[in-house]
Every structure is written in structure tokens, then in C-alpha cells.
Chain A
Amino acid sequence: MNAVTAEAAAPVANPGASRISGTPLVEMRDICIAFGGIRAVDGVSVDLYPGEVVGLLGHNGAGKSTLIKILAGAYKPDAGEIRINGEKAEIANPRDAKRYGIETIYQTLALADNVDAAANLFLGRELRTAWGTLDDVAMEAATREVMGRLNPNFRKFKEPVRGLSGGQRQSVAIARAIHFNARILIMDEPTAALGPQETAQVAELIKQLKAEGIGIFLISHDIHDVFDLADRVSVMKNGKLVGTARTSDVTKDEVLGMIILGKSPPGAAAGPGASV
């Protein structure tokens, strides 16, 4: 147990794995969205490379979740464009996003509480028999396999997820995101409901997925969660981008300054939302 925490706490001193070169996996350019006059996201540009973890930081209400919901297809932006592998992507709904290999773990987990783990894992993508009926047994088998990997002690396969603990629910949501060979993973506060051990396990998983070449957006309002795992951080304040920096070029205090004061340090590329 201690070993995990120690490893998770160690700085990711591996800039080569996330060299900013080639075509980005995701580019979001000048994204704007307003809800009834409130500019929730205002001209934000972020990008993500294969095998990279980008932390999206900011206060509650800074517009982080809204931004990634646009990428996930839950909202349609008023302006701006999204490019996947350098090509312009049309993402009008969550199905489109999934077609581009974008999987999302929502802050709310977005689980249907009244059905079991397998039904949630395959929601919208059910396995079917030759007759066109639901192949529940095959889905349960797949769920047992993926859950066996994520959470080996999970037993409640027949129970509605309402009856699961916070950590178990979280692992169902994570299982759903990684089971379908995601290329781009969005994790919105993935450790919000978890204890320290489980948080360490998620950190372990993120490293593993990163090594597989998956690009990960990690959203959090807690800098400590993100700083050690992310290769870069993008900070938002009041719907605008304060700046983007490699975690190796800035200190935690500087990033804190970006979050609280909107002040972009020398090591960061300042965005339109920077106060200085």
C-alpha cells in the first residue's frame, strides 16, 4: 500500500513520453458557449497529445466541466472548432463523441442507479444475441472481466448500482470508459468520491492508460490531485483560459497563483484569461 502512495507521489519525470510534437490527438480552438447571457466558456483553446495527461484546473464554476462536456458531446458549442487527429470533428451528441473514441467519466458518474453494473457498463452499446435480444450473460461475463481488473473484490454483479459503495460505483464508471478502447479519456473529478487507497489506485490506472498511448484530460479543482499525474496543466478562470504550462516548468505555487489570481507565470503560455 505504501509503495503505491510513494510512487503516485513521485514526480512524473518523463518529459519524453509527452513531447509536444506531431499531430495533437485533440485540439479545441476558441471554444465559446453561453447559457442565458453567462459566458461559461469564452474563447478557450486546449490540446492533448497521445500518451499525455493534461490537467484542467480552476475553481468551481470556472468552466472546466462545461468545456469537457462540449468535447463529450453533451453540449454544442456556440463557436469554435474541435479537431481530432488534425481533422475537423463534428460532435453533435454523445454518440458522435464515442465514435471518435472519446470516453468520459463524469463527476456525477452518470450511472442509472436502478440497473446492475453490466447494464450500466454497456448502456447504449448493449451486446445482442443473434436474435437481436440482449445478451445479458455475455455482458455480465465481460463486466466480470473488466471489473476483475479494476476492482478484484467486486462481487455485486446482480445488484442495482444503487446498492454499491462510492468507490464501487466509481469503478463501474471507470470500467465503462476504458472497456471500449478509448483513445481519449475525460476524467471529471475522478477521485471525488474515493478514499486515499482508491485514489492511489486510480492514479495507478491513469499511468497505465497513459502508457498505452491514451490521451487523458484530468479535471479537478484540487491542484494536488492533478499536479503529480499531469504532463501539462491548463488553468481556467471565469470561463477563460489563464494559461497552459508543463508541470516540469512551473511550481505548485505558481499554478495556485494561476487558479486563484489568474496570473500566468513565466514558465506558462499565457491565455486570454491571464490577468497580467
Chain B
Amino acid sequence: MTDTTTATPATPASTPAPSSRPQGGAPSAPTSFFGALEIDMRFMGMLGALAVIWIVFDVLAGGTFLTARNLWNLSVQSSSIAVMSTGMVLVIVMRHIDLSVGSILGVTGMAMAVFQVGTLMPAFGFNHPAVFVLTLALGIGLGAAIGALHGFVIAYLGVPAFIVTLGGLLVWRGAAWAVAEGKTIPLVDDNFKLLGGGANGSIGAEWSWIIAAIACIAIAVAAVQARRQRQRFHFPLKPMWAEFVTVAAGCAAVVAATLIVNAYTLPPVLARRYAEAAGLDVPPEGISISFGFAVPVLVAVAVGIVMTFVTTRTRFGRYVFAIGGNPEAADLAGINTKRITLAVFALMGALAAIGAAISTARLNSATNAQGTLDELYVIAAAVIGGTSLSGGSGTIAGAMVGALVMQSLQSGMVLMRVDTPYQNIVVGIVLVFAVWIDTVYRKRFK
């Protein structure tokens, strides 16, 4: 407030705003290139770090890292952790933690496999669509129920999330063993296996381009929509060139990803066999069949989009952030913080089940050790992705990039033939280093 105050008589008549011009926010000229683009600098920094990691590994691993095949594999391997990290963002934003996601993944994966093999397959028959749908529904329902139970104990009984989910880590790992007495259960439904990726679980070149086109149109429409909204209320607008640069960059990223996944083709022998099985004419010089986007990657991207929508466009998401920023203020504003807490943990459980579907489908079977240590990778992905452990801030996209960073480190070291113990050492150091960098960033730029 300032010295512009004059002694206006205190009458209600003087209160209405006199003009239709936006109050208190005269359009100010954007100061810098990046300012005009309204780019999240931290997110760009993360992408930059990812690029550095990729290039360094490519050099160290003799050019084997930046190949279509490796990048395609990387995308598939990151999917399960990426899906779960989106939920972990909300958990950590609310100043909680979930140590049980790996075990929930284990028990839901096991339950889905047992249910599919033991109940659904005999009931509906081989590869019946209902098998796929009901398996997923059961898994997600079970995951949500387990998460809701954790959330209930945390929110309504007041036991700290760290303890509840530490207990859950042991309980559900034990339960995963108990469900099948430690046996490995092979999956039988071919539709379900598509969730794991592989040659069958990929959509091929044509569909990849169709999806890329849809994505580009969606990016453009979203930009136009946002601009119209701001025009409606006469708010300051981004300069036109900045809009074009943003949309073009988004589309370029989509096209680049599509080119990469389409450049990964089936080995000639398999391609020939595949084409013959599909009844195609095979020219004598052989046939080239692209993998295209893998199904689990599309699932992860879809989850990311939905979760971004939930966090930024819905009341629920707004409340999660408000609670993380100031739980007492949220309470005083009339928000039912307990119910939101329960819902967040239920959501985390459901996402762990989706992660379970992806990773069991990828291995074609469920084992009781599945998802061991995943909780740590998921938390690391969220934290590397800029989620603050003190609560109140984090983004879904950041966490997904964080998942990609974690997986890149692992794959890169595998390509470099680094032994497992050393891989863990490096990953551990990188995690601490990344959080330190983030702390420095926060202190300087707040």
C-alpha cells in the first residue's frame, strides 16, 4: 500500500471500480526472451540435465546410448516408475511420504495375475476382452483400497505417514508372498500383455504418426484456448511470436519422439515372420516394420496428462497444494483436509496398481519380489523432478522427467557395463546431488 491514499469519505458509493480496464494490473511489457515465453526455468534446467546425461553416456558407452533402440527401451523401462511418480508428487506436496508403493505394486501385480489365471480365464475363455478389463479393474480397485486404508490411518487416526507406509511396505510385501505362496505366476491374457510393450505392445509407425498429429493439434488448441480466456478478461497477453515459439517447440518435441520410436525397427528375420503371419507380401529385399510408441509409454503419458489436469484444473488439486502450503490455513478455509489426505493416498495406491499392470505385463509374470525398492525410485523421481520435501510445490511433468533421469542413469551404466553395486552408489550420489542443486536454486531464486 502506498501514499496515494487520499481522505475519501467513507461511503459505500465510492467503492465500485470505475473502469472496465483490468484493475491493478496494467499490461507490462515482457522484460526478457524467456519471460515472454513464460517458461518454467526449473523444468528447462531439468531437460538440460537430462540432455547432458544422455550425451555423456553416449560418449562413454561408445555411441550405444543415443540409438533409437536404447531410447525406445528407456521409454518403456521408465513407464512404471513415471506413472507412480505422478501420485508421489501429490503425496509429497501434502507433506507426506509413501514408502509402500513398491509393495503395493507387488501385491496388486500378484493379485491381478492370480485372479486372471485362476478365475477370469476359466470363466471367460482365452483372450476374452473381459479378462483384460476385469483384471485391470480388480488391480486398480485393490490398489485404491490399500491406499485408502493407509490414508484413513494417517488422516483420521493421526499416525504419521512415514510409519503407516513403512508398515505397509512390510505388510503388502508379505501379502504378495502369501497370495501365491511365493510362486511366480505367468500371465496368460495376450491383451493384458500389450501393457508391457515389446513388439506386439507397440502401435507401429502409422498410429504413432496419427497420435503425434493429434498431440500437435491439441497443443495448438490449448494455446488458442488459453489466449481466448485471457482476452475475455482483458488480461495482458503473451506476444504472438512467443505463442508460436511455444507451440512449435511442443510440436517439434512430439515429432522428434515419433521419429525416434519409428526408427526402431524389428530385426529383418522377425519382421519377415511378422509380415507373413499378418498375410502381407514380403518384397525380396526384406521389409521394415517400425515399433512406434509402446503401449506402456502411451499409458504413462495419458496418466501424466490426467494427473496434470487434476493438479492444475480441479478443486481437489488446488486443495492438495493449499494443504501442502499451509495446512492450518486450509483447515480454516473450510477444506476437509482429512478427506483430501485419504483421497491422495487412495490415488497413489491406484497408480501403483497401474504401475503393477505395466511391470507384470512387461515380465509376462508376477513374482513376489516385483517392485522391490520401487518406492525409493519413485520418491527419487519426484524429488529430482523438483518436488519439495517440505511440501507445497512440485509438478507432474517434472516428476516424469525425474523418472526418465533415474532410468537413464541405470540404463547408461548397464551399457557401460558398470556392476550393480556401483550403479546403486552412483544413483544414490546423484539423488543427493540433485536435491542439493535444487536447494541452492530455491535459496537464490525463491
Report which A residues bind B (CB closer than 8 A). Answer: 1, 3-4, 6-7, 72-74, 93-95, 98, 104, 106, 108-115, 119, 123-126, 128, 132-134, 137-138, 140-141, 144-145, 147-149, 151-155, 157, 160, 162-163, 167-168, 171, 194, 197-198, 200-201, 204, 207-208, 210-212
Q: Which of B12, B233, B323, B329 contacts A110 (CB 8 A)?
A: B329
B230 contacts A137, CB within 8 Å? Answer: yes
Q: Which of A1, A114, A149, A194 contacts B392 (CB 8 A)?
A: A114
B334 contacts A126, CB within 8 Å? Answer: no
A111 contacts B329, CB within 8 Å? Answer: yes
Q: Which of A134, A138, A144 contacts B318 (CB 8 A)?
A: A134
For residue B174, give the distance in angstroms from its CB to the closest CB of chain A: 38
A148 contacts B17, CB within 8 Å? Answer: yes
The listed residue with most A CB atoms (<10 A of its CB), out of B232, B318, B330, is: B318
Q: Is B2 an interface residue (CB 8 A)?
A: yes
Q: Which of B230, B318, B328 contacts A108 (CB 8 A)?
A: B328
B15 contacts A208, CB within 8 Å? Answer: yes
Q: Given the known A-B contacts A123-B333, A197-B2, A198-B1, are A153 and B12 also in contact in the complex, defined by CB atoms under 8 Å?
A: no
B24 contacts A153, CB within 8 Å? Answer: yes
What are the residues of chain A within 8 A of B333 when measuring CB–CB? 94, 110, 123-124
15 new A-B contacts at CB < 8 Å, known A144-B24, A171-B1? A1-B5, A72-B332, A94-B331, A108-B328, A112-B321, A112-B322, A114-B393, A123-B333, A124-B330, A141-B22, A141-B235, A148-B17, A152-B24, A153-B1, A204-B8
What are the residues of chain A within 8 A of B435 when measuring CB–CB? none
A157 contacts B25, CB within 8 Å? Answer: yes
What are the residues of chain A within 8 A of B309 when measuring CB–CB? 133
A148 contacts B23, CB within 8 Å? Answer: yes
Can you report 11 residue pairs joining A to B where beta carbons are below 8 Å apart?
A3-B7, A4-B7, A94-B333, A108-B329, A112-B321, A112-B329, A148-B24, A151-B1, A155-B25, A197-B2, A201-B5
Specify the chain B residue showing the minimal Cβ separation from A72. B332
A147 contacts B3, CB within 8 Å? Answer: no
Q: Given the known A-B contacts A110-B329, A112-B330, are A133 and B322 also in contact in the complex, defined by CB atoms under 8 Å?
A: no
Q: Is B32 an interface residue (CB 8 A)?
A: no
Interface size on B, residues (CB 8 A): 47
For residue A207, give the distance in angstroms from its CB to the closest CB of chain B: 4
What are the residues of chain B within 8 A of A132 when measuring CB–CB? 314
The listed residue with most A CB atoms (<10 A of its CB), out of B23, B312, B322, is: B23
For residue B428, give the distance in angstroms from its CB to the closest CB of chain A: 29
Q: Please report the C-alpha to C-alpha distance between residue A4 and residue B6 in the assembled complex, in whole angstroms.
A: 7
Specify the chain A residue showing the minimal Cβ separation from B18. A148
Q: Given the known A-B contacts A123-B330, A140-B233, A149-B15, are A115 and B318 also in contact in the complex, defined by CB atoms under 8 Å?
A: yes
Q: Given the known A-B contacts A3-B7, A148-B24, are A126 and B315 also in contact in the complex, defined by CB atoms under 8 Å?
A: yes
B5 contacts A138, CB within 8 Å? Answer: no
Q: Please report the C-alpha to C-alpha distance between residue A178 and residue B49 in the assembled complex, in whole angstroms.
A: 47
B380-423 contacts to A (CB < 8 Å): 392-393
Q: Please report the C-alpha to C-alpha distance between residue A95 and residue B332 in the assembled complex, in whole angstroms.
A: 8
Q: Is B119 an interface residue (CB 8 A)?
A: no
The listed residue with most B CB atoms (<10 A of its CB), out of A112, A125, A163, is: A112
Q: Which 9 A-B pairs have the closest CB atoms?
A: A148-B23, A3-B7, A114-B325, A112-B325, A114-B392, A95-B334, A124-B333, A110-B329, A123-B333
For residue A135, give the distance in angstroms from its CB to the closest CB of chain B: 9
Q: Please report the C-alpha to C-alpha distance between residue A211 and residue B429 in the assembled complex, in whole angstroms.
A: 64
Q: Please report the C-alpha to C-alpha distance between residue A212 and residue B10 in the assembled complex, in whole angstroms.
A: 10
What are the residues of chain A within 8 A of B4 when measuring CB–CB? 152-153
A137 contacts B326, CB within 8 Å? Answer: no
Q: Please report the C-alpha to C-alpha distance between residue A86 and residue B436 in the assembled complex, in whole angstroms.
A: 59
B326 contacts A111, CB within 8 Å? Answer: yes
Specify the chain A residue showing the minimal Cβ separation from B4. A152
A115 contacts B322, CB within 8 Å? Answer: yes
A147 contacts B23, CB within 8 Å? Answer: yes
What are the residues of chain B within 8 A of A160 when measuring CB–CB? 325
B277-333 contacts to A (CB < 8 Å): 309, 312-315, 318, 321-326, 328-333
Q: Given the known A-B contacts A115-B325, A197-B3, are A133 and B314 also in contact in the complex, defined by CB atoms under 8 Å?
A: yes
What are the residues of chain A within 8 A of B313 when measuring CB–CB? 133-134
What are the residues of chain B within 8 A of A74 when measuring CB–CB? 331-332
Q: Please report the C-alpha to C-alpha distance between residue A112 and residue B330 in the assembled complex, in whole angstroms.
A: 7
What are the residues of chain B within 8 A of A208 when measuring CB–CB? 10-12, 14-15
Q: Please report the C-alpha to C-alpha distance between residue A141 and residue B232 in the assembled complex, in whole angstroms.
A: 10
Specify the chain A residue showing the minimal Cβ separation from B231. A137
Q: Please report the C-alpha to C-alpha distance between residue A110 and residue B446 in the assembled complex, in whole angstroms.
A: 20
B332-388 contacts to A (CB < 8 Å): 332-335
For residue A256, give the distance in angstroms from its CB to the closest CB of chain B: 28
B1 contacts A197, CB within 8 Å? Answer: yes
A145 contacts B23, CB within 8 Å? Answer: yes
For residue B293, give the distance in angstroms from its CB to the closest CB of chain A: 28
B45-65 interface code vs A (CB 8 A; 1 in, 0 out): 000000000000000000000
What are the residues of chain A within 8 A of B11 when measuring CB–CB? 208, 211
What are the residues of chain A within 8 A of B235 when measuring CB–CB? 137, 140-141
Q: Is B31 an interface residue (CB 8 A)?
A: no
For residue B238, give the distance in angstroms from its CB to the closest CB of chain A: 12
B23 contacts A114, CB within 8 Å? Answer: no
Specify the chain A residue showing the minimal Cβ separation from B328. A110
What are the residues of chain B within 8 A of A112 when measuring CB–CB? 321-323, 325-326, 329-330, 392
For residue B339, give the distance in angstroms from its CB to the closest CB of chain A: 12
Q: Please report the C-alpha to C-alpha distance between residue A98 and residue B333 in the assembled complex, in whole angstroms.
A: 9
Q: Which of B2, B10, B233 contacts A207 (CB 8 A)?
A: B10
For residue B2, give the distance in angstroms from its CB to the closest CB of chain A: 5
Q: Please report the C-alpha to C-alpha distance between residue A200 and residue B392 in the assembled complex, in whole angstroms.
A: 34
Q: Given the known A-B contacts A115-B318, A144-B23, are A204 and B332 also in contact in the complex, defined by CB atoms under 8 Å?
A: no
Q: Please report the C-alpha to C-alpha distance between residue A93 and residue B330 in the assembled complex, in whole angstroms.
A: 12
Q: Given the known A-B contacts A112-B326, A123-B335, are A141 and B233 also in contact in the complex, defined by CB atoms under 8 Å?
A: yes
Q: Please report the C-alpha to C-alpha distance between residue A145 and residue B15 in the assembled complex, in whole angstroms.
A: 11
Q: Please report the C-alpha to C-alpha distance between residue A149 and residue B18 in the assembled complex, in whole angstroms.
A: 10
For residue B222, give the distance in angstroms from its CB to the closest CB of chain A: 13
Q: Please report the C-alpha to C-alpha distance between residue A106 and residue B166 in the assembled complex, in whole angstroms.
A: 37
Q: Please report the C-alpha to C-alpha distance between residue A201 and residue B15 in the assembled complex, in whole angstroms.
A: 14
The listed residue with most A CB atoms (<10 A of its CB), out of B28, B313, B323, B334, is: B334
For residue A267, give the distance in angstroms from its CB to the closest CB of chain B: 27
